[in-house]
Chain A
Amino acid sequence: MRTIFNADDEAVHDAFADFFAKESPMEAVRAAEPLGFDRRIWEALAAIGATGMSLPSDVGGADAALATVAVVAEVFGAALAPVPMIEHTVASRLLHQVAPTHPDIRAVVNGSQIATLALRPPMAGNDATLVPAGAVADIVLALVGDQIVCTCNDAPGISARNTGDLPIANRCLDDAVVLGAAGSLFERAVDEWRALTAVAYAGLARRVLEITVGYVQQRQQFGVAVGTFQAVQHGLADASTRAEGARLLAHRAVWALDTNRRDASRLAAMALVFAAETGRFAADRALQYHGGYGYAEEYDVQLFHRRATAWILQLGGPSTELRRLGTIEFGRQTAIKETHPKEPANRKTHNADANRGSI
């Protein structure tokens, strides 16, 4: 049990915190809107080896665990960096799994090609719609039926304008080639996206609360700093408590994926729902305690608020995720029957046993 970063994690954390502070300040986040992508930042990220760090060294990666990517994802989330780091990471890991000798694998690992995945499986014969990083990705992986397919047609370079200024776009799959039949690998990649996005949300929540704690100590009303009011303090205390819980659960989900625990998929979905709602709650409190200025474009809070709203919706809202989680926990919903067979009342249902296995 180690619920804090070790020395290696701290070194990675500090290096990337410096990197994003220097290469992706809030001015760069603003300047990248509405596309939500800054190629200069992407190239800088590639230059330090961050785009393929978790891939094997024989294809140019650094053999890093997903947990190390998660350390980066936390500072990435706090910076709102306009680069598709999470999509690229999980898509390139999937590409390597399903097609280890793919001709573009080294280009993906070194970041000269951007990879992404269509989180939501398209219907056969249709385009993949609103693909995360679809506006800029050179390689798009998608699940059609049980087939993982790949297309390398030109990225549109413009996004469908959206709440979070994210580089989402539709991508045609007409020219897609089949890489292999392995839906479970694709599901695993989406679980990795869930867990890493949950970590990014934890970073977002923490940063927007830091900004707000600073603001409420400056801003005076009724002759005192608004941060002296208990109404404000208690909202920030609730949000920061949830942010700590979200952060720990998100890193626990990443650990469960790294170690192939059998409850990894369950924890990834739980971590994403909780972290997304926590990110939204923290951004809401932040905006509220900034008063009218929080609503103003000039202040950074709105940047956090819009991304907190948007990130999870690239996959689906919390209710969509909960519907899927319900299938994991309780099985598929059955069709209505005339009589439902009664089951014994003492049947062990809550998966306390699965929890036991995980701890």
Chain B
Amino acid sequence: MEFSFPPEAERFRAEVQAFLADQLTAEVLAATREGTIHAPAMHKAMGELGWLRAAVPAELGGGGRDPLELAVLVEELQLAGAPFDAMAVTIIVAIVLLVHGSEFCKHNIVPGMLEGDLLGCFGYSEPESGSDVAAARTRAVRDGDEWIINGSKMWTTLAHIADYVLLLTRTDPDVAKHRGLTFFVVPLDLPGIEIQAVHTMGTERSNATFYDDVRLPDRYRVGEINGGWEVMKTALKYERGVTGGQLPSPPVIDAAISWIRTQSMPDGSAMLDDPTVRETLLRAMIDVEVCRSLAYHTASLASSGVMFGVEGSMTKLFSSEAYKRHCQELQDLLGPDGLLTHHNADAPLGGLVEEHVRHSPVTTIYGGTSEISRNLIAEMHLGLPRNR
């Protein structure tokens, strides 16, 4: 086996690092603390550099950047603690439109998304359906050349700043649940759409969105009528592809170590010399190398033209569970000071560890819960009977 990146990818890494040194200022990071995990100027700059288009496979008309280079991009964004959720989601929406969308969508929506001018968000979950995503009840009913949409969506994160929502609807309630679904890409400024904030313990703002007799021309339909599940499969496939590199822990570990280096134990010895402190840090660092190895594996498979499946679930499961564990253990190492939020001038590392402790629980839920990941691994990797 061979675990080094090709020279082009390392050159691109240097380019990304220089970009982040320039763009990811303290002000940009501070702005994300208000709850919207997005950096508009940085996103637009990436669009202008062609990085968003480059992330789209060549066969779909994108730049077809080598998945190893995409892995480098995601790795550097994560190591720097840069917000990139909106980037990843928008790229996936653009890919879904290129695969399944109408000519209208391909020509009027996708270019703006890939240039960094338009943002997309996901509209899959509903108040009564999360992991059971195919149970969606938001109704779309045909009326001539238009559709009338009624229903509500949960966890439409970024909807308050996004231009379009990739909306999963039910178009036939009388067939098996997977067979009566249709996707639309819906402009969020249409009459009848209401966006309500859902505030979270991680400070991150999500949304509930409500659709009340929203009228939408058929050219916004994505994929076949009642063919929504095929579209869903494309979205999930590229969700694993684009966001394959999962490495959220290193900025938190780095921060904790730099603070611990300044601290003494009650007996005057250095805190970093304490064996239990060291063991906690080292176990987290080992997990990081495991995450890195798993992420390199998926990137390497994708680069060699293999569309991976269960490997993406394994990476997601391990890295999110590890991240959540690390955050709590690192906060514990900081002691009572670890409780202090960034509102306190003397919070360790500006409250960074504390913020991650509140953010981390969502990562084992969104993008496929740990339980769904385990189901998929048991079924696809181990060949055990389907169980849900």
Contact = CB atoms under 8 A, between A and B. Distances in A.
A265 to B, nearest CB: 13
A336 B4 contact: no
B1 A252 contact: yes
B282 A329 contact: yes
A26 interface: no
A241 to B, nearest CB: 4
Interface in B338-388: 349, 371, 373-375, 377-378, 381-385, 387-388
B3 A325 contact: no
B300 A237 contact: no
Interface string A321-334: 01101100110011
Most chain A C-beta atoms within 10 Å of own C-beta, residue among B3, B268, B292: B3
B290 A251 contact: no
B268 A237 contact: no
B1 A237 contact: no
A279 B299 CA distance: 26
Contacts of B272: 330
Contacts of B314: 240-241, 244-245
A3 B3 contact: yes
A234 interface: yes
A48 interface: no
A342 B250 CA distance: 23
Given A216-B384, A345-B258, A274 B1 contact: no
B378 A234 contact: yes
Given A270-B285, A323-B275, A352 B79 contact: yes
Nearest to B382: A213
Contacts of A236: 378, 382, 384
A329 B299 CA distance: 28
B317 A3 contact: no
Contact of B269 (A242, A336, A355): A336
Contact of A233 (B2, B294, B304, B374): B374
Interface in A217-238: 217, 225, 227-230, 233-234, 236-238
A281 to B, nearest CB: 13
B286 A340 contact: no
A251 B4 CA distance: 13
Contact of B261 (A3, A343, A356): A343
Contacts of A248: 290, 293-294, 296-297
B1 A2 contact: yes
Interface string A251-284: 1101110010000000100100110000000000
Interface in B274-294: 275, 278-279, 281-283, 285-287, 289-294
B282 A347 contact: no
A256 B292 CA distance: 14
Contacts of B267: 336
Given A213-B384, A244-B314, A349-B257, A326 B5 contact: no
Contacts of A336: 267-269
A225 B385 contact: yes
Contacts of A325: 282
B279 A319 contact: yes
A210 to B, nearest CB: 9
Contacts of B1: 2-5, 9, 67, 251-252, 254-255
Given A270-B289, A329-B285, A336-B268, A240 B258 contact: no
A270 B289 CA distance: 8
A3 B297 CA distance: 5
A352 to B, nearest CB: 6
B6 interface: yes
Contact of A350 (B6, B253, B286, B378): B253
A22 interface: no
A249 interface: yes
A217 B382 CA distance: 11
B352 to A, nearest CB: 12
Nearest to B316: A241
Interface in A119-166: none
A2 B2 contact: yes
Contacts of A330: 272-273, 278, 281
Interface in B107-122: none
B134 interface: no
A346 interface: yes
Most chain B C-beta atoms within 10 Å of own C-beta, residue among A3, A251, A325: A3
B327 interface: no
A358 interface: yes
Contact of A241 (B281, B293, B377, B388): B377
A209 to B, nearest CB: 8
A339 interface: yes
B132 to A, nearest CB: 15
A259 B299 CA distance: 21
Nearest to B264: A340
B201 interface: no
B382 A350 contact: no
12 contacts: A1-B300, A1-B303, A3-B3, A3-B296, A228-B384, A233-B382, A233-B384, A248-B297, A252-B293, A255-B2, A323-B278, A330-B272
The 6 closest A-B pairs by CB, nearest first: A233-B378, A248-B293, A237-B377, A237-B374, A326-B278, A245-B290
Given A213-B382, A229-B387, A340-B269, 20 more contacts: A3-B301, A67-B1, A217-B385, A237-B317, A238-B317, A244-B314, A245-B294, A248-B293, A273-B286, A274-B287, A322-B278, A323-B278, A326-B275, A333-B275, A334-B270, A347-B261, A350-B285, A358-B4, A359-B4, A359-B292
